[in-house]
Structure 1
Amino acid sequence: MNSEVSQTSSHVDSLRWSEKPKAAEKDDTLKQEDFFKLLTQQLSYQDPSKPADNDQMIAQMTSFTMAEGISNLNTKFESLSASMTSNSALQASTLVGKKALLESDSLELGTSGTARGSIIATEPVDKLVVNIYDESNQLVRSIDMSKQDAGAIRFEWDGKNDDGEVMPQGEYEIKAEANINGKFSTLPTATFKNIDSVNVNGANGIIINTKAGAVRLTDVAEIA
């Protein structure tokens, strides 16, 4: 029995010692030491009667240093980019559940019972009326905002129709009709949309997703 154990142990030892260590992965990146080795070799093989010009030597050494510096700078930029992406994702997550003011002709009436938006007027308005329509395109409310100055004109709907009845939650269409210098026109509107989710999309930055679609954060006029 002892002979069997000895044979087994010898066999295991032979397997153990026969294992060869894994070769280290070869790094082909040129470091500053490699550049100076090349420079030393160049000096050793130069013609003593025609030594290298000092300016040329300094220029080569400067090039080696710049090459290493650029390599290190690229590494630091990659690290900075990863850190900024991580910070952007963290900041973007805090936007979920808030509302973004986006250019739109639809109005969301939510649980709060009110809806807000903004009208963009490039010049003073003599008379402004905000008309709100339901999904059947029936007029439910007209809000008279009378005379207004140029700029972003805020409006708020209390969620009631012209008869004072509370309207159900949902999407409504809005039209801002203005009288400017005796001419009637429809002005662009922006309304608050609930932010459902956000994406961090590299070169495109932070993308916010709403029922109205996906837009860049840089295109959002206001967060509420």
Structure 2
Amino acid sequence: MSSINGAGSNNLSYLDQLKSMQEKKVQEEQKTTGQNQLKQEDFLSLLTKQLSQQDPFEPVGNDKMIAQMASFATVDGINQMNEQFGLLNTAMTSNQALQASTLVGQDVLVPSSTGMKATEGGLSGRVRLTNSLDQAMMRVETPQGELVRTINLGAKGAGDHDIEWDGKNEQGKMMPEGQYTLRVSGLVGGETQNYDVFTHANVNSVVMGQGDGQVLLNLAGLDKQFNLADVLQVGKAQAKG
């Protein structure tokens, strides 16, 4: 059985001996149980063993004893703090999921140029222009990239602008239900520049992340999940044009 020597023996300090004992104990526990952490009881056991096996002619000084006790208290305090943070994170995630559950059935605006068109009606969203345009153009495309319709949005200043497609093609025929992509562009210095588009989608369900504290939204007709923090607006999908 390993022991902790008194001060001056083997040229190791008490803390070094404790550290060596801890490392050996961790290695033994990993082999048998797979655990890689020492509990407060293990530290106290090591301290008790150190006191019982110290050199009576050279006992541990008060300063060293206080320092070791302070180290134990610090480690224990950090462990308790980590546990409390874990509980707090779980509670906050649960609260976020509960709040997000009220979004089920509502429309939200998310950073996706692709949206889901219902049988009747079209698709609405928002474009973010980083500069003014004399003439902004919107293309409506199928998931395969086929052009459905081109819409002249007119002159637009820098900033966010609501956009809307009525669901019809160039011939005025209502397009079938499915995914469609809205792309907005304009001429800047003689070159075509594309801009970020956001579309409205209906929330089907809410999912809690895999222990990462995130809350994800499943949206109707879209395969990708969106983080709750990505939602720009909650409400009925209505565009002003």
What's the TM-score once normalised by structure 2's chain length?
0.62
**Aligned residue for 2:135?**
127
**Preserved contact between residue 131 and residue 159 of structure 2 (Cα < 8 Å):** yes
SS at the partner of 1:203?
Answer: coil
Aligned Cα root-mean-square deviation (Å): 3.7
Aligned counterpart, 1:208 = 217
Match of 1:104 in 2: 112
User: What is the CA deviation profile of residues 108-165 of structure 1, one whole-angstrom value per residue up to 9, with x for unaligned ones?
Assistant: 444884632112322211101324457895645x543211112222223455667877
Of residues 215, 228, 231, the one that matches 1:217 is 228
Matches within 5 A, 1:14-33: 29-31=39-41
Q: Equivalents in 2 of 1:138, 1:72: separation in Å?
A: 60
Question: Residues 69, 188 of structure 1: CA spacing in aligned structure 2 closer, same or farther, 3 A cutoff?
Answer: closer
- Contact residue 214 and residue 227 of structure 2 kept, 8 A: yes
Deviation sequence 1:46-96 (CA, Å, 0-9, x none): 42x434322112112212322332332233233223322322321231222
Q: Is the 1:117–1:191 contact (alpha carbons within 8 Å) kept by the matching residues of 2?
A: yes
Match of 1:17 in 2: none
Any conservation in 2 of the 1:208–1:214 contact (CA below 8 Å)? Answer: yes
The letter of the residue matching 2:229 is T
Output the CA distance in 2 between the equivalents of 1:52 and 1:38: 12
1:181-218 CA distance string (max 9 Å, x none): 44444434221111212211122611222222223233
Largest Rg, 1 or 2: 1
Distance in 2 (CA, whole Å) between partners of 1:29 and 1:179 is 66
Identity within the alignment, %? 31
1:84 counterpart residue number: 92
| CA distance in 2: counterparts of 1:103 and 1:51, whole angstroms | 68
Q: Name the CA distance, whole Å, in 2 between partners of 1:111 and 1:185.
A: 32
- Which residue of 2 is the match for residue 20 of structure 1? none
Q: Check conservation: 1:121, 1:150, Cα contact below 8 A.
A: yes
- Secondary structure of the residue that 2:76 maps to in structure 1? helix
Whether the 8 Å contact between 1:133 and 1:139 is mirrored in structure 2 is yes
Contact 2:208 2:215 in 1 (8 A): yes
Q: How does 1:61-72 map to 2 (within 5 A)?
A: 61-72=69-80
Change (3 A) 1:85 1:160: same
For structure 1, list consecutive stretches of 5 or more residues without a partner in the other structure.
1-27
Structure 2 runs not aligned, ≥5 long: 1-37, 236-241
Cα 1:139–1:76 change in 2 (3 A) is: closer
Which of 52, 60, 71 is the equivalent residue of 1:52? 60
Is 2:157 the partner of 1:144?
Answer: no
Contact 1:131 1:139 in 2 (8 A): yes
- Output the amino acid matched with 2:78: I
Which amino acid in the other structure matches residue 223 of structure 1? Answer: V
- Rounded to whole Å, the distance in 2 between the matches of 1:105 and 1:52 is 70
**Equivalent residue pairs, number:** 194
Query: Are 1:127 and 1:147, in contact at CA under 8 Å, matched by a contact in 2?
Result: yes
- Select the residue among 170, 190, 198 that pairs with 1:190: 198
Paired residue secondary structure (2:103) = coil
Instruction: Report the residue type matching 2:218 in the other structure.
Output: N
Greater shift, 161-170 or 83-92, is seen at: 161-170
Counterpart in the other structure of 2:23: none
